[in-house]
Structure 1
Amino acid sequence: MNNEVPKVWNKVGYLSLKDVASWIRDLKERVKFMSEWLVTGGPNCFWISGFFYPQGFLTGVLQTHARKTTIAIDNLVFSFKVQEFEKEQCSIKPVDGVFIYGLFLEGAQWKKKCLADLNFGQMNMLMPVIHFLPLQQDKYQSRSDNYSCPVYKTQTRAGVLSTTGQSTNYVLAVDLPTLDQPPDYWTLRGTALICALKE
């Protein structure tokens, strides 16, 4: 009656701020994504918001790369490259790593291949596809003009501490180039990538 997700569902379900109608639509999309993956094989591009535990999926990507290259998983990190296409145009799989879609940029917009100020009245924007590419840790160099953008499951950004010592709402940090402003500028603006919006 209040259009709220029942507490018993929330207790065993994924983190979400959606009302019950939006939550059910979202659940159907998640089931559809997983069903298509099961029937047709791994997609060219993965919907990161569709995972109950995205961190587990990303660890699996690192494990797959570790087996392929015989590099210890502890020596692997992700590098990130924002692509110039949307998920509908994703016709091939990358040789290494995965293409990810479904992240929303909050507190900034993506313009001319770097972070930029939002337009007036704009709250967030859907990011293009991002290539998550595993690299050997000693071969990866984060540029000083990159902003280490945190990825959260929901807009609340807060979560419960898990057994790993990290918030259950935090996924990882994605390095994004910032040319016009220093990285601290985006930190003060609270710029982050969000897996799922409230509405």
Structure 2
Amino acid sequence: MTRYESTGQMDQSSRRSDTGFSRRALLGIFAATMVTAAPTFSKAAGFLRGGAGDIRRIRMYSGRTGEQLDTIYWIDGQYVPEAVREVTYFMRDWRNNEMIGIDTRTIDILTATHRLVDVNRPYMLLSGFRSPQTNAMLRATSSGVARDSLHMRGQAVDVRLEGRSVSQVASAAERCSAGGVGRYSGSNFVHMDCGAVRQWGR
């Protein structure tokens, strides 16, 4: 069963499911009503300004599905809708293929952080969007999962970056002053979100 969220809200009435949707069909349906958030208003936007034109690129691969993402999602002051949809699909809940509109501020934080750590490697995505069912399952097995996790709103990601430590990646994310940054050194990943500015972990 494939599920998707067309408006970025957890509204049961907006969900549809089918067993025959291809990836392209899912993205096409999602395109009709997707709403992206306002650009990041923090320091992250400043770190994203480049000398060779105003472009923003994100590169990731999934440790869960094996999929890869390499896309320019912002060009000269505008988000590229199809590229943002690609990010949304890539960051879906891989356990049930449910997806929600990924907040563009979160994408910007990831991109700004990647520029600051100055490494030519893609992120490994561990967790993007989580459906309520997945979040509840993870809460039952871990004390570090919030009941109202921003992952369920498409506003948080957990990533690793080869060649850089948890401390290095987290420190760069904190410089963006754009949201929450969690250090999980024992599990070798960094949490980033576009919620309130805060830090935790070590």
Query: TM-score scaled by structure 1?
Result: 0.26
Larger radius of gyration, structure 1 or 2? 1
Query: TM-score scaled by structure 2?
Result: 0.26
Which structure would you say has the larger RCO, counting Cα contacts within 8 Å and 6 or more residues apart?
1
